[in-house]
Amino acid sequence: MRDSRHESPNPVEKLAPKAVVGRVSLYLRQLEAFRAQGQVTISSNQIGTALGINDAQVRKDLAFFGQFGHPGVGYRIDELLTALRRILGIDRDWPMALIGLGNLGRALLKYRGFGDRGFNIAALFDNDQTKVGMRFNDLVVHPLDDLPKVIADKNICLAILTVPAEAAQRVADQVVACGILGILNFAPMPLNLPPTVGVVAVDLSVQLEHLAYKVLNTQGGISYLGSTFRDEHDSLE
């Protein structure tokens, strides 16, 4: 699985925290919007104002990955876009396996916004015999026994897990044994995997708890803390 797609063109010294990477994704989207409006250069203040993020935070986040600004000019949008895409790894294609064709899995199949970032669902798997052989988006559902062959044939390195919680660890072990390098895990339980496998967990009840916490502490009857409210992309280091 270690072909050229996985060579980082600009290996960083240490891994950026999740919050920084999340904000870089936002900067990328905002830069694309500015470029679509015909803008050529931009300041950290303009990026920050558009996103509700402090301009010092914008500069600090970008500086984590390199020196991108030009004195007296700011950032050149095209140049910064190319750099951010390379940093995030979306300057290449990422064929993915979707495992678990329940409601969530089928919803993700129709989710727009994966493909235009290079993330393409290239193979489907489910152990439910009533689903094996069905077709979605011109892809046929394979049984999990086919994982080694299909993952190798299609050069797949990421897996989306939309399986029940009780099956998640077992299925994760199976895909890792097939050489999968990263897992987007929707099952509401943590996975225990080798440190060489990247895992990003999407636990929707965690997100709702964060929302409840925010609502209680910004709008709570006793303590109205509007001035300390931070937006959804906060978590300043």
> Considering only residues 184-213, where is the footprint of a second copy by CB under 8 A?
184-185, 188, 190, 195-213
Which is closer to a second copy, CB of 152 or CB of 204? 204
Q: At which residue do the structure tokens 């409006």 appear?
A: 37
Torsion sign across C-alpha atoms 24, 27, 29, 32: negative
Among 41, 77, 94, 137, binds a second copy (CB under 8 A): 94
Task: Decide: is 8 part of the binding site for a second copy (CB under 8 A).
Answer: yes
Cβ within 8 Å of residue 202, ≥6 positions away: 184, 185, 186
- Can you state the angle between helices 18-36 and 44-51, rounded to 10 degrees? 100
What secondary structure letter does DSSP report for 17?
P
Subset of residues 113 to 172 that bind a second copy, contact rule: CB under 8 A: 113-114, 117, 119, 157-158, 165
* Only segment of 39-47, 55-63, 124-132, 183-191 that touches a second copy (CB under 8 A): 183-191
* Token couple for 214: 């925010």
Which is closer to a second copy, CB of 140 or CB of 200? 200
Among 35, 43, 51, 77, binds a second copy (CB under 8 A): 51
d(CA 125, CA 33): 36
Among 59, 60, 106, 154, binds a second copy (CB under 8 A): 106
Interface with a second copy (CB under 8 A), residue total 92
Task: Decide: is 181 part of the binding site for a second copy (CB under 8 A).
Answer: yes
* Only segment of 73-81, 110-118, 126-134, 142-150 that touches a second copy (CB under 8 A): 110-118
**CA of residue 142 relative to chain centroid, distance:** 25
CB of 71 to a second copy, least distance (A): 28
Cβ within 8 Å of residue 19, ≥6 positions away: 233, 234, 235, 236, 237
Element (H, E) at 96: strand 94-99
- E strands of the chain, at which residues? 41-42, 75-76, 94-99, 119-125, 135-136, 139-142, 158-161, 182-185, 198-201
CB of 193 to a second copy, least distance (A): 9
CB of 161 to a second copy, least distance (A): 12
**CA of residue 104 relative to chain centroid, distance:** 17
Cα-flanking dihedrals φ and ψ of residue 124, to 5°? -120, 140
Per-residue binder mask for a second copy (CB under 8 A), 15-44, x = binder? xxxxxxxx-xxx-x----------------
In sequence order, what are the beta bridge partners of 140? 135
* Residue among 12, 14, 10 at smallest CA distance from 237: 14
Task: Decide: is 79 part of the binding site for a second copy (CB under 8 A).
Answer: no
Task: Decide: is 90 part of the binding site for a second copy (CB under 8 A).
Answer: yes
CB of 79 to a second copy, least distance (A): 19
* Only segment of 9-17, 125-133, 143-151, 169-177 that touches a second copy (CB under 8 A): 9-17
